[in-house]
Structure formats: structure tokens, C-alpha cells
């Protein structure tokens, strides 16, 4: 039983990075596919499409920082806290990255039809980024209380 508890603690340490990386990959792929489609239908502005498709990549950065913050000796006393913070912040980052990719894809698709709304169309993606930052800050603050 003790090995299971310790394993869950270690899983919690690495989960934010792994789930954040998966989220960034999926989110960037969703937005990247929209970017490629927009490039075939427009005569210019390709750089902004590619730039927008990279927005979800921040989730892996948040996950890496959380992982390093949680990294410590795992004991039966701290394993539950490490698991809870790591898994829950990782899941939050995962959802943020995937949905941010979808929001970026929508912004790219709208911009190819109406280029003047480019900046405003990024607002939903920026709001989702804020939720990722909330999960990031929450994990950092709460992890300070784990021995």
C-alpha cells in the first residue's frame, strides 16, 4: 500500500508537465490546421496565422514550472498533496490548452474572412489563457504548504 501512495505522489509531480505538453500539442495542432487552411485561402498575413497557432504552447511551460515546484522527496505524508495538486492543475492546463487551440482556430477562420477583426478575435483565447494562469498560480501557492 505504501508503494501505491508513493507512486501517486510521483505521478502528481510529473502530471502537470505531461498533461500540459499533451494540451499544448493538441491545441497547437488544432490551431495549426486552421492556420494551414487559412494560408491556402488568403494572399498574405501568414505570419499572424502561425503566431496565433502557437498560443497554446504556454500550457507546457506552466506545467514544467509546476513540476519543478512540486519536485521534492515523496513521503507518505506529502504524497496525497503532491498527487492532488499535480493531477488537478495538469487537468486544468490540459483543458485550457485544448480549448485555447479551438479558440485560436476560430480566430484564424474569422480573420481570413474579415482581417480587420484580427485583434478582437483573439480575446477568447486570451481569456482561456487567464484560466491557465489561475491554475498555474494556484498550484504554486498551494504547493508552498506541502512539506
Render each residue's pLDDT in the chain as its tens digit; 147 residues: 799 999 999 999 999 999 999 999 999 999 999 999 998 888 877 888 899 999 999 999 999 999 999 999 999 999 999 999 999 999 999 999 999 999 999 999 999 889 999 999 999 999 999 999 999 999 999 999 998
Q: How far apart are the C-alpha atoms of 84 and 45, rounded to whole Å?
A: 43
3-state secondary structure of 146: coil
Which residues, 6 or more positions from 15, have their beta carbon under 8 angstroms from its beta carbon? Answer: 86, 87, 89, 90
What's the pTM?
A: 0.92
Q: How far apart are the C-alpha atoms of 126 and 54, rounded to whole Å?
A: 13
Residue with C-alpha cell 481570413? 112
Comparing C-alpha atoms, which of 20, 14, 33 is closest to residue 95? 20
For the chain, domains (ranges, CATH) are 2-143 (1.20.120.610)
Amino acid at each position: 500500500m505504501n508503494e501505491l501512495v508513493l507512486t501517486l505522489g510521483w505521478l502528481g509531480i510529473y502530471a502537470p508537465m505531461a498533461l500540459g505538453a499533451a494540451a499544448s500539442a493538441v491545441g497547437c495542432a488544432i490551431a495549426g490546421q486552421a492556420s494551414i487552411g487559412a494560408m491556402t485561402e488568403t494572399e498574405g498575413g501568414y505570419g499572424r496565422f502561425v503566431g496565433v497557432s502557437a498560443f497554446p504552447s504556454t500550457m507546457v511551460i506552466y506545467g514544467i514550472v509546476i513540476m519543478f515546484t512540486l519536485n521534492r522527496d515523496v513521503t507518505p505524508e506529502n504524497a496525497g498533496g503532491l498527487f492532488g495538486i499535480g493531477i488537478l492543475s495538469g487537468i486544468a492546463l490540459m483543458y485550457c490548452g485544448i480549448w485555447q487551440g479551438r479558440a485560436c482556430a476560430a480566430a484564424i477562420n474569422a480573420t481570413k474572412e474579415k482581417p480587420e477583426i484580427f485583434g478582437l478575435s483573439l480575446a477568447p483565447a486570451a481569456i482561456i489563457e487567464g484560466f491557465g494562469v489561475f491554475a498555474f498560480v494556484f498550484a504554486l501557492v498551494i504547493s508552498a504548504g506541502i512539506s
